Amino acid sequence: MSYGVADTASRSQGHSAPCSNRDFDFHYEGLEAGRLLVQQCVHCGTLRNPPGPACPSCQSFAWKALALRGTGTIFSWTVHFHPPLRGFEMPHSVALVEMDEGLRVVGAMDGVKTPLDIGMRVRTEFMRRGAVAGFRFVPAGD
Ligand code: ZN
């Protein structure tokens, strides 16, 4: 699935796909392929998430996509009550996960009972939320 500019107009007419722009498109294309992609600066190697146009460490615009292993530990969590989100049961838990590669990623943990444990090991599970490829964190069970 492509999230090119041509798709933006159709999604704004009621489709549930996340917003699309040149910084985020690679991330959603990765999810379609079952990969959790983040940006890595080509100049200094810094990983960044959420995506952005420039490296926060060296300001380089050159980056490549890096697939994370998908495992990490819960750094913090909360419960999302509002607004309603298509493809999610409400309310649902959301975790800020310290990935094993050292950067943090926000992801839903819908279907996992709260309270969540800080430091709990989690893994990434890829799934679809309606027509959109998505991911959530689930207990690693290791
Ligand atoms: Zn850099």
User: How many whole angstroms from 113 Cα to the centroid of ligand 1?
Assistant: 38
User: How many whole angstroms from 24 Cα to the centroid of ligand 1?
Assistant: 18
> Domain spans of the chain?
2-67, 71-139
Neighbour count for residue 3 (Cβ, 10 Å): 22
Residue bearing tokens 């893994």: 123
| pLDDT, average across residues 44-54 | 95
Note whether 99 and 68 are within 8 A (CB): yes
User: How many whole angstroms from 37 Cα to the centroid of ligand 1?
Assistant: 17
| pLDDT, average across residues 14-37 | 80
**pLDDT score of 85:** 87
pLDDT band at 6 (very low <50, low <70, confident <90, very high): very low
Q: What is the pTM of this model?
A: 0.84
CA 93 to chain centre: 14
Parallel, antiparallel or unpaired: strands 47-48 and 121-129: unpaired
User: How many whole angstroms from 47 Cα to the centroid of ligand 1?
Assistant: 8
Question: Domain 71-139: which topology?
Answer: OB fold (Dihydrolipoamide Acetyltransferase, E2P) (2.40.50)
User: How many whole angstroms from 62 Cα to the centroid of ligand 1?
Assistant: 8
